[in-house]
């Protein structure tokens, strides 16, 4: 890559000369740019619009009054037949929009004209059976690089200007069932990633690499008993070996970090959620099964765990605990401010934790029906289980008791990120109201052999809607407003200082709501379901909004009654960009 190096040097040189004279137009992305991403308005250089993941923009030209004038600027089609599940969040930098697409693709367009500048199609090996769909949730910008993870569990760094591969690192063996679909984050020059994989035989981990070279710096496993590393040397085991697992199950305990993580600079802490434990049936693994279905607070400098909190100890419902942990200032009545974090779990509870130590502050339902627990005990921080509603043990020929559990394993909220608005002091949660019948299925086969599987059917809880965008007050735990949607919500949320909340619907709309009241103010039909994450930025004095469109993800894969509400929806693959013109037409 000699020519690439040369090009990079020229780029850096020109960036320096610009910096000496005037505003840096061609600057490489720096740690400072990423640290300031939440407050700078002319770019979006990180997943979450700032590493805390608040998805809040201070822009207010576009607001509850002006949003009616928001019009399309341009649209990019991803082309070919790979039209499936566009769950990404785009990034904007240096006059370019970067967006990942299903099947591990990347598109870059000129932010002014919408003209495609380059496209990268990752070559996927034959015969892969990737876990968890073919979506990709986004990339990270650093220096002159665009870094993203692929279905075959590689981390790929592309030149922002040419789309050429600068470095490529194998994160895990795809043949062993590993994959990756989450957006990496960059913290002080390190690219931080999790890993996803099939249910069995894998162990989750968080890894930090040198963002410029891809070289591994530290690795932290998420299941107790496994050794972490720092600079190639042992760096202490996670937790205490075999404290909360029977036999050798900790060796294959699951707890995949498949949704990536967030970072808080004030406490210098990474927050990574972990998936459910293996095997699936909780009766086979008595104990808390640490650190499955948890959040781990990790020091980004050395990969050591600072604290942990387990959302669902001894998870028996496949709830996972991967959903994002969003740092925010919890303002108390007496004027005191607690450094807190908010999290809407699959299990239906909205948690507020003290992010300096992991202490539980509050946990309140953000969905209408929760059967697995009666509540979360604020003293112990543990759920008060309803044992009658735990799926049964896989005993012999019996079908096992069928249990109705709510939320369903797709969660009160799934992967789609929430947003926090410091102006309204509200969290905006894309939630779904559904439950599941779940039972042991003795008549099942795996790899040609008899097997003990689980049967399940997802059921909507209401006739007229499944999805509900909800505003949660983190101080009271109360739902302040909700906007219902017929189909399940599966897209991320954006909120702005213009008193707006944006999110998409499977029916194809990008919608804007009044952040205080929930009143729907604007919508636009994109032609396919919106399950991606909207962003906003300012360009030449005009405010822009972008969101991918393309129906897919996990919802259309499920049979039963849920499928009926989404069966007619067409797949797609495009990036829609809108703007508020200086002078409305």
Residues catalogued as catalytic: 318
Return the range that interacts with other proteins (CB under 8 A); candidates 142-150, 185-193, 197-205, 304-312.
Answer: 197-205
Among 137, 190, 285, 355, binds other proteins (CB under 8 A): 285
The answer to whether 241 contacts other proteins (rule: CB under 8 A) is no
Residue with tokens 């599987």: 453
**CA dist., res. 571 & res. 468, Å (int):** 22
List 39, 395, 519, 525, residue binding other proteins (CB under 8 A): 395
What's the CA gap between 178 and 152, in Å, rounded? Answer: 7
Strand order, beta sheet including 116-121: 91-93, 96-101, 105-110, 116-121
Query: Which of the ranges 91-99, 221-229, 368-376, 557-565 carries the binding residues for other proteins, by CB under 8 A?
Result: 557-565
SS (H, E, C) 124-169: CCCCCCCCCCCCCCCCEEEECEEEEECCCCEEEEEECCCCCEEEEE
Does the protein bind other proteins through residue 450 (CB under 8 A)? yes
Residues in the chain: 585
CA distances from 185 to 50, 51, 140, 286, 312 (A): 10, 7, 6, 35, 26
- CB 128 → other proteins: shortest distance, Å? 7
Taking CB under 8 A as the criterion, the residue among 387, 446, 463, 541 binding other proteins is: 446
Residues 338-357 that bind other proteins (CB under 8 A): 346
Q: Which residue bears the tokens 């990347």?
A: 106
- Considering only residues 37 to 76 of the shown chain, the ones binding other proteins according to CB under 8 A are none
Residues 214-233 touching other proteins, rule: CB under 8 A, are none
Kindly tell me which residue out of 58, 189, 442, 527 binds other proteins, with binding defined by CB under 8 A. 442
Span near other proteins by CB under 8 A; candidates 351-359, 406-414, 419-427, 459-467: 406-414
CB closer to other proteins, 83 vs 262: 83
Shortest CB 576 distance to other proteins, Å: 23
Residues 355-394 contacting other proteins, CB under 8 A: 393-394
Q: Contact at 8 Å (CB) between 165 and 117?
A: no
Cβ proximity to other proteins, 216 vs 393, nearer residue:
393
CA separation for the pair 525, 545 (Å, rounded): 14
Can you tell me the distance from the alpha carbon of 95 to that of 511, in angstroms, rounded to the nearest whole number?
25
Q: What is the DSSP string of 515-535?
A: TTT--EEEEEE-SS---S--E
Q: Considering the rule CB under 8 A, would residue 198 count as an interface residue with other proteins?
A: yes
Provide the minimum distance between the beta carbon of 394 and other proteins in the complex, in angstroms, as a whole number.
6
Q: Of residues 42, 170, 215, 451, which one binds other proteins by CB under 8 A?
A: 451
Q: Could you say whether residue 90 binds other proteins (CB under 8 A)? A: no
By CB under 8 A, name the one of 72, 232, 246, 375 that touches other proteins.
246
Piece of 220-228, 365-373, 449-457, 542-550 that binds other proteins (CB under 8 A): 449-457
- To the nearest 10°, report the CA torsion of 428, 434, 439, 444: -90
Residue 310 C-beta: closest distance to other proteins, Å: 17
160 versus 408: smaller Cβ distance to other proteins: 408
Which of residues 456 and 544 has its CB atom nearest to other proteins in the complex? 456
* Contacts to other proteins from residues 175-194, by CB under 8 A: 175-176
**Binding segment (CB under 8 A) for other proteins, from list 24-32, 211-219, 245-253, 490-498:** 245-253
How many CB atoms are located within 10 Å of the residue 104 CB? 26
Residue with tokens 């840096």: 24
Burial 373-396 (b: 16+ CB within 10 A, else e): beebeeeebebeeeeebbbbebee
Sheet with strand 326-331: strands edge to edge: 326-331, 337-344, 349-354, 360-365
Count the site residues for other proteins by CB under 8 A: 74
Q: Is 124 in the site for other proteins (CB under 8 A)?
A: yes
Show contacts with other proteins in window 126-165 (CB under 8 A). 126-134
Return the closest-CA partner of residue 86 out of 571, 584, 485, 452: 571
Under 8 Å between Cβ of 362 and 477:
yes
Among 342, 412, 498, 556, binds other proteins (CB under 8 A): 556
Q: How many CB atoms lie within 10 A of CB 181?
A: 29
Q: Of these, 23, 333, 388, 449, which contacts other proteins (CB under 8 A)?
A: 449
What is the closest distance, in whole angstroms, from the C-beta atom of residue 159 to other proteins in the complex?
A: 27
Residue 200 or 584: which CB sits closer to other proteins?
200
Site for other proteins, residues 95 to 114, rule: CB under 8 A: 103
Task: Give the residue with the Cβ less far from other proteins, 346 or 511.
Answer: 346
One of 156, 185, 186, 256 touching other proteins (CB under 8 A): 256
Is residue 77 packed enough to be buried (19+ CB in 10 Å), middle (13-18) or exposed (0-12)?
middle
Q: Does 568 bind other proteins (CB under 8 A)?
A: no
Nearer CB in complex with other proteins: 245/537: 245
275 part of the interface to other proteins, by CB under 8 A:
yes
Give the DSSP H/E element, type plus range, for residue 469.
Answer: strand 467-472
Using CB under 8 A, pick the residue from 439, 558, 576, 578 that binds other proteins: 558
- Whether residue 348 contacts residue 363, with contact meaning beta carbons closer than 8 Å, is answered with no
Output the CA torsion sign for 584, 534, 433, 385. Answer: negative
Q: Is 517 one of the binding residues for other proteins (CB under 8 A)? A: no
Q: Restricting to residues 318-337, which ones interact with other proteins according to CB under 8 A? A: 318-320
**Using CB under 8 A, which of 223, 468, 554, 562 touches other proteins?**
554
């Amino acid at each position: 890559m000699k020519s690439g190096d040369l090009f990079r040097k020229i780029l850096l040189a020109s960036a320096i000369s610009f910096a000496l004279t005037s505003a840096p137009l061609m600057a490489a992305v720096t740690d400072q740019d990423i640290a300031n991403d939440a407050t700078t308005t002319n770019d979006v250089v990180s997943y979450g619009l700032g590493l805390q993941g608040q998805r809040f923009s201070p822009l207010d030209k576009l607001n509850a009054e002006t949003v009616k004038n928001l019009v399309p600027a341009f649209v990019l089609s991803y082309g070919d037949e790979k039209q499936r599940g566009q769950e990404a969040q785009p990034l904007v930098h240096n006059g370019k929009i970067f967006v990942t697409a299903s099947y591990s693709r990347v598109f870059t367009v000129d932010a002014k004209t919408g003209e495609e500048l380059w496209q990268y199609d990752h070559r996927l090996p034959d015969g892969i059976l990737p876990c968890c769909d073919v979506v990709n949730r986004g990339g990270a910008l650093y220096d002159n690089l665009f870094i993203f993870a692929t279905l075959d569990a590689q981390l790929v760094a592309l030149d922002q200007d040419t789309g050429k591969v600068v470095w490529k690192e194998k994160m895990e063996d795809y043949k062993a069932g590993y994959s990756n679909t989450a957006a990496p984050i960059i913290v002080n020059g390190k690219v931080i990633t999790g890993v996803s994989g099939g249910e069995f035989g894998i162990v989750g981990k968080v890894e930090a690499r040198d963002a410029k070279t891809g070289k591994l710096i530290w690795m932290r496993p998420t299941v107790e008993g496994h050794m972490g590393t720092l600079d190639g040397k042992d760096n202490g085991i996670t937790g205490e070996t075999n404290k909360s697992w029977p036999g050798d199950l900790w060796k294959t305990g699951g707890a995949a970090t498949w949704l990536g993580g967030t970072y808080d600079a004030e406490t210098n802490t990474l927050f990574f959620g972990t998936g459910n434990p293996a095997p699936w049936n909780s009766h086979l693994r008595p104990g808390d099964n640490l650190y499955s279905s948890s959040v781990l607070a990790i020091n980004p400098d050395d990969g050591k765990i600072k604290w942990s909190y387990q959302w669902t100890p001894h998870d028996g419902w496949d709830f996972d605990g991967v959903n994002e942990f969003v740092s925010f200032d919890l303002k108390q009545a007496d004027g005191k401010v607690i450094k807190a974090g908010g999290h809407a779990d699959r299990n239906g509870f909205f948690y507020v934790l003290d992010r300096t130590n992991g202490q539980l502050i509050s946990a309140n339902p953000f969905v209408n029906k929760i059967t697995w627990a009666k509540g979360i005990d604020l003293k112990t921080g543990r759920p008060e289980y309803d044992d009658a509603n735990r799926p049964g043990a896989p005993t012999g020929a019996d079908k096992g008791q069928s249990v109705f559990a709510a939320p369903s394993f797709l969660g009160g909220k799934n992967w789609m990120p929430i947003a926090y608005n410091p102006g309204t002091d509200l969290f905006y949660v894309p939630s779904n109201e559904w439950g599941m019948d779940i039972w042991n299925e003795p008549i099942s086969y795996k790899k040609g052999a008899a097997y003990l599987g689980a049967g399940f059917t997802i059921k909507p809880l209401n006739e007229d809607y499944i999805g509900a965008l909800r505003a949660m007050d983190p101080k009271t735990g109360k739902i302040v407003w909700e906007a219902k949607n017929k189909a399940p919500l599966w897209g991320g949320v954006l909120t702005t200082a213009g008193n707006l909340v944006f999110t998409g619907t499977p029916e194809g709309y990008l919608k804007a709501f009044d952040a205080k009241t929930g009143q729907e103010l604007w919508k636009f039909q994109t032609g396919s379901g919106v399950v991606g994450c909207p962003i906003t930025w300012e360009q030449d004095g005009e405010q822009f909004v972008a969101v991918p469109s393309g129906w897919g993800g996990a919802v259309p894969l499920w049979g039963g009654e849920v499928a009926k509400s989404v069966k007619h929806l067409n797949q797609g693959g495009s990036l829609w960009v809108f703007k508020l013109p200086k002078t409305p037409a």
